[in-house]
A = this chain, B = another copy of it.
Amino acid sequence: MRILAIHPILEREGYDELTRKILSKVAFQGTEIDVVSLERGPASIESAYDEALAVPEVLKIVVKAERQGYDAVVILCMGDPGVAPARELVEIPVVGPCQASLTIASTLGERCSILTILREAVPTFWRLARRYGFEGHLASVRSIEIPVLKLWDDRDAVFRALAREGRLAIEEDGADVLILGCTGMMDLGERLQQQLGVPVVDPALAALKYAELLVSLNLSHRRVALSEG
């Protein structure tokens, strides 16, 4: 199985390769992962506007990916940019980390919290949870107040902030599952889970595995016309 993971941003030095390594650690034998970034588009996605600029480029890559024989596409951004239109263009599964994470979280507990980056993103996650039908499972959205572009600078600071907000989500908001609110927090879920003792869903990994699941079940979002009876 071949899966293409797309960073809907301009490539940052070595980030595609780093991502490929992290995703490959959880992939099944036989899954081949490629990671690409955009050649044109935003440097990071911190708003719906950044997403809007990225989407047409993402769509080109998705269409090309299907032609190149990829079995599924994963779009590595918690806003799931381009997932809906991409599903109309190709027959292979297109997976967004936000929907995959909320979906999985709903099966691990009763109330989840999303730990996002900046306060401005809080309403966006309420909107996405509502859109996917998981509003009733969302106990809270908390922010760590570290900008996207600094997520990789001081990984320990990011972890400490996640641990702090995650603990508050559990103790004050009644969360029993946590979701990392940015694909740039990739690879911190496991450690956070060990420290806090509740399941922590890592959206980039969740999206990859969810794509594998759909491919091997031969399920996709195609909407074919009814064949004759």
A residues contacting B by CB (< 8 A) are 26-30, 47-49, 51-53, 55-56, 59, 82, 84-89, 99-100, 103-104, 106-111, 120, 122-123, 126-127, 130-137, 140-141, 167, 170-171, 174, 176, 190, 193, 195-199, 201-202, 205-206, 209-210, 212-214, 216-227, 229
Q: Are B220 and A108 in contact (CB under 8 A)?
A: yes
Complex partner residue of A111 from B103, B123, B219, CB under 8 angstroms: B123
Determine the residue in chain B with the shortest Cβ distance to A25: B216
Q: How far is the CA of A136 from the CA of B27 in the complex (A)?
A: 32
Q: Top 6 closest A-B pairs, CB basis?
A: A197-B224, A48-B85, A131-B131, A28-B28, A110-B126, A52-B85
Q: List 18 A-B contacts (CB under 8 A).
A: A28-B212, A29-B30, A48-B85, A49-B59, A103-B104, A106-B133, A107-B132, A130-B132, A130-B136, A170-B226, A196-B226, A197-B224, A198-B224, A201-B217, A201-B219, A205-B217, A209-B217, A213-B213
Q: Are A226 and B53 in contact (CB under 8 A)?
A: no
Copies in the complex: 6
Interface residues of chain A: helix, strand, loop or mixed (majority)? helix
Q: Are B51 and A85 in contact (CB under 8 A)?
A: yes
Question: Among A52, A127, A198, A222, which residue has the most Cβ atoms of chain B within 10 A?
Answer: A52
Once A29-B28, A140-B174 are accepted as A-B contacts, the answer to whether A132 and B106 lie under 8 Å apart by CB is yes
B-side contacts of A220, CB under 8 Å: 108, 199
Once A28-B28, A49-B89 are accepted as A-B contacts, the answer to whether A196 and B227 lie under 8 Å apart by CB is yes
Q: How far is the CA of A85 from the CA of B81 in the complex (A)?
A: 11
Q: How far is the CA of A136 from the CA of B205 in the complex (A)?
A: 27
Q: Are A127 and B131 in contact (CB under 8 A)?
A: yes
Q: How far is the CA of A221 from the CA of B200 in the complex (A)?
A: 10
